[in-house]
Chain A
Amino acid sequence: MTEFLQILIFGLVLGGVYALMASGLTLVFGVMKIINLAHPIFIIAGAYISYWLFKLFGLDPILSLPIGMIGMFCVGVVIYKLVFQREAGNPKFIEMTVLLSFALALSLDGLLGFMFSNTHRITSPSYATEAFIVGDLFVPKGQFYAGIMSILLILALWLFLRYSRIGYAIRATTQNRDAAQLLGVNVTFVSTITFGIGIALAGASGALISFIFSFFPAKHWEWIAILMSLIVLGGMGSLLGAVLGSLLLAVIAAFVGDVFGPTWSTMTFFFSLFVILLIRPQGLFGEKLE
């Protein structure tokens, strides 16, 4: 029983972090129908920012989170304006944006690899290697803090979307872009802001994973497929779906990893992605993907 609980806790905590990673991605898709294959490389960029802030100034990754988020927000806005905005009216929009984000991911991969080389890095604040001992259970402090921060950030995001004016505008654009435009929402502005928020969330989750996983520039390919599987299960565009999908899949992957071995736990994500795309492409809460 203890082992079962142990694995469940691992899965849930990790799922929280994955949920934060996926939330930015699903938000961007919901508002602009952009499948941002470059999202994971922004996560890694955020991780690098935290890593260097920790190494050079001793700033704790969780405390330096706001800095990373603001920086990445600005980066996101600039990238949207430079790269994605011009595709807005294109009939082949989805195909073009996928290819564009793919090219963006390649470029950033090369840039980060060139600037920081491909060595595996990991931030090491003191709590990264400690753990809470609760009875027979062993809860790693680093992952626990990361999970809590992720939940807080997702809650903040949800409150923002629910109660602020821009949040209303974002939700309106997600539901029906044309209708929102007719009602006076400046969809270009909303799109830009949302992309910035999405990348800021990526930066935040990067800061959090910087002390959980060791990262290097090429790791983003692994995460693309994992994140895709999370949001496809939950339904692309749905925040609740992203959270539920992440928790569910992370727990299942943890159990699979325990039974079959660690290499197969990543396989769970890819396999479930494949299966869901064939059986129910819209996932749990999403709209029909066309």
Chain B
Amino acid sequence: MVIAPLVWWACAQEPTPEPGPTPLDAPRLLRRASLDLRGVLPSTEELEQVRADPAALDGLVEGYLDDPRLEERVVAWLHERWHTRVDGFSAAWYDYGLDARDEVEFERAVGEEPLRLAAAVVVEDLPWTEVVQADWTQANTLLLEIWPLEVLDTGEGWRRARWTDARPAAGVLVSNGLWWRYPTDLFNLNRGRASAVSRLLLCQDLLAGPVRASDPLTLLEGGAEAAIREDPGCQGCHSVIEPLASALFGFHWVDEYAVEEMTRYHPEREPLGALLLGVEPAFYGEPTADLAAVGAAVAASEGFEACAVQTFAEALWRRPTGTSDADTLHTLRGQFRAGGLRVRALLRSIVSGAEYRAGVVQEGEALSRRLLSPELLQSAVEELTGFVWTAQGVELLDEDERGFRTLAGGVDGEEVLRPQSEPGLTWALALRRLAEGAGEHLARRGFEQGEGPLAGLGGARPGDAAFDAAQEELIWRLWGRAPSAEDLAEDQALWEEVQVLDGEQAAWAALVSLWLRDLDAVTR
């Protein structure tokens, strides 16, 4: 039998077992994968399945990779890196005649547009290169109303759309959401945007190096423009930045606060790049006729592929990668390439690895405990209790003008660029209030409305079969492990104490809130 070379090569690249952290047990690992890939807790049945047969875990995780809820997870991961889900842009809801109540929806729609495009590429199992080459984007009803888009798919929510303003086929490189987040002005001339392309898609941070002219007099007497063109110290970075910036002038806004300017693409301004910057568009020395050519050049670059691996590895490992990860990342990159640059294949490789499955870590960079992000906390809480913490329709763990996103450890994309990895004071406070609200809500549902897992528990006490069953079921579902004898003893003491004070409904609310704040609930 002849094995196709690609298959042979892919098989040859299977990761060899390596010493390292002790793997997490199957139920907890299933919980981790379910939250990471679907944003929800695993069902009781799924947990039971892997408890009985740990080998069943891989099959379940494989199913998670096909779950449509993976899209939301990709959006969340990429926001942590691309930082577009911010709480304000130069254009606002009132510029489009929207209602004030639409403010957050507007901001999220704008900021998510590039993220949704990328997520669609992942969920539809397209090559990752489509992110910079797609002739479509994703839009929701609000964006379809305000931007020059024609819908390509029927249905609700985010769906495929195409720009109608002659912008080239370049995926996120022609995204309004991306360039609204990374605006420019008549002085910067898209240089900041070029830097953003390099950082976000190639993981090359051109601003990490010192900004220093070799000859200050060139800078002082000729100005910054002269120094950029002539000074060797400046040319070190600007030899890359200028040509890339030159390609972005379809997004050149004469008035950077005019919504009409910001809304549509300006193909007639594309030649301004060469005129104002004095260089023709190019990508690392390769001439590019337009943004579509830039997208193709980005897609073909080594950095693009490596950056994708780094991006998704960091998203799932919940820590920055470093030199110690070189071997693992190299292996992942090989698998990514072998999988046709499909991110789902990459995700499969990552979640199969020792780093991701770490349970007990004695040395190295792997994390055994990773704090849940605010959106995962909300998701887990909502699923278990039905409680969604919103105010006037705004999800308070997803926003910072009124909400608690950064206080709960999340990323706002402007001042907080990395998720919090350790517990902190405001994290503890936000978690407490979330848990209190959720516990009360679940108890109310059970005792006042006769629904949910606490329904019918009136009169049941610790030690009763119904009480104990409900307790163990909820903990198992929430933590992915059975409660210990000490856990049960503490729970019983708390329930009885609060029951005396405020009655059994309040006692259950207290118990649930305690469980929601346990380490096994708030980490994965």
Bind each other:
no
